[in-house]
């Protein structure tokens, strides 16, 4: 027993000695690695503190006026800014995207610009900016997908629209966006004389999302689709 303990101690001493020898032989390398880690950490902190955060603040200031116009439904001014404004931050969404596209405000501007172009009837530009948006919240990515479908419908691209609506319906299984996307898909199926598929969509809204705002209206749409 004592012999085993002595052997174990000898192994531990040997391991410790080897470790110390490795540290001594590679001291400069290890110090360099440690310094490198510190430099990286400080660089990340510095970028966030002195570059990223001030840039975010400037982007928020820049988008303020555009979002006011957007909320008012003044889509041209929201996109391009008000040329009569004396506010140095009174720029449009497109300018914000160009200058601060990687910031949170810049990403939001892409979504809002897509909506503006959609409302103004410029469907290709709408698809362009809606396609650039990459939201991380629960609902806006779903509505972004649905609006792509709207833009495609307006151009007569019904198959493309159905793909967007079908995708949107599956993105988040909630009682707001999912039945809305299914309803839109059903309407497109009716437009293309595929009433059987339209009925499927309407019945799914009624059965799967009975608490939704659309459910109570589905009986009428189902009856109409079946009769035509």
Give the pLDDT band of residue 25 (cuts 50, 70, 90).
low
Q: Residue 44: what pLDDT?
A: 47
pLDDT confidence bin for 101, thresholds 50/70/90: confident
Q: How far apart are CA 202 and CA 215, in angstroms?
A: 8
Mean pLDDT of the 119-139 span: 94
Which range, of 17-31, 58-72, 96-110, 158-172, averages the lowest pLDDT?
A: 17-31
**Helical segments of the chain, H only:** 2-25, 27-47, 53-72, 75-80, 93-100, 104-119, 123-132, 140-154, 158-171, 177-191, 195-208, 218-227
Please determine, for residue 140, whether its predicted confidence score (pLDDT) is greater than 60.
Answer: yes
Note the pLDDT of residue 61. 85
Residue 24: pLDDT over 90: no
How much is the average pLDDT of 46-57?
A: 57
Q: From CA 183, how far away is CA 190, in angstroms rounded? A: 11
CA distances from 111 to 172, 196, 211 (A): 18, 34, 28
The domain limits of the chain are 135-228
pLDDT digits (tens, 9 = 90+) for 165-182: 999 999 999 999 999 999
Is a pLDDT exceeding 90 seen at residue 116?
A: yes
Mean pLDDT, the chain, rounded, equals 81
Overall average pLDDT of the 22-34 stretch: 52
- Quote the CA–CA distance of 9 and 200 in Å, as a whole number: 76
Q: Is the predicted pLDDT of residue 162 greater than 90, yes or no?
A: yes
CA distance 100 to 77: 18
Q: Which CATH number fits domain 135-228: 1.25.40.10, 1.10.760.10, 3.40.630.30, 3.30.70.100?
A: 1.25.40.10
What would the mean pLDDT of 89-113 be, rounded to a whole number?
Answer: 89
More confident residue, 87 or 221: 221
- Whether 89 shows a pLDDT value over 80: the answer reads no
Q: Are 74 and 83 in contact (CB under 8 A)?
A: no
Interatomic CA distance for residues 197 and 200, integer angstroms: 5
| pLDDT over 80 at 53, yes or no | no
Q: What is the pLDDT of residue 32?
A: 53
Q: Report the distance separating Cα 195 and Cα 184, nearest Å.
A: 13
Sign of torsion over alpha carbons 193, 197, 200, 205? negative
Average pLDDT over residues 100-127: 94
């Amino acid at each position: 027993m004592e012999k085993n303990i002595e052997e174990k101690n000898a192994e531990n001493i040997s391991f410790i000695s080897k470790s110390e020898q490795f540290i001594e032989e590679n001291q400069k390398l290890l110090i360099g690695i440690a310094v490198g880690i510190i430099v990286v950490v400080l660089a990340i902190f510095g970028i966030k503190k002195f570059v990223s955060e001030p840039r975010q603040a400037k982007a928020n200031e820049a988008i303020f006026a555009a979002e006011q116009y957007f909320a008012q439904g003044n889509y041209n001014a929201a996109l391009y800014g008000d040329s009569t404004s004396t506010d140095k931050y009174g720029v449009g969404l497109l300018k914000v995207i160009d200058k601060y596209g990687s910031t949170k405000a810049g990403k939001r501007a892409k979504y809002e610009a897509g909506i503006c172009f959609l409302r103004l009837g410029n469907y290709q530009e709408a698809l362009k900016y809606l396609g650039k948006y990459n939201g991380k919240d629960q609902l806006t990515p779903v509505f972004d997908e649905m609006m792509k479908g709207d833009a495609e419908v307006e151009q007569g691209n019904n198959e493309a629209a159905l793909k967007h609506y079908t995708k949107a319906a599956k993105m988040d299984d909630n009682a707001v966006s999912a039945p809305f996307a299914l309803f839109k898909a059903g309407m497109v199926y009716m437009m293309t004389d595929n009433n059987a598929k339209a009925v499927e969509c309407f019945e799914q809204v009624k059965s799967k999302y009975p608490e939704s705002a659309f459910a109570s209206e589905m009986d009428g749409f189902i009856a109409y689709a079946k009769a035509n």
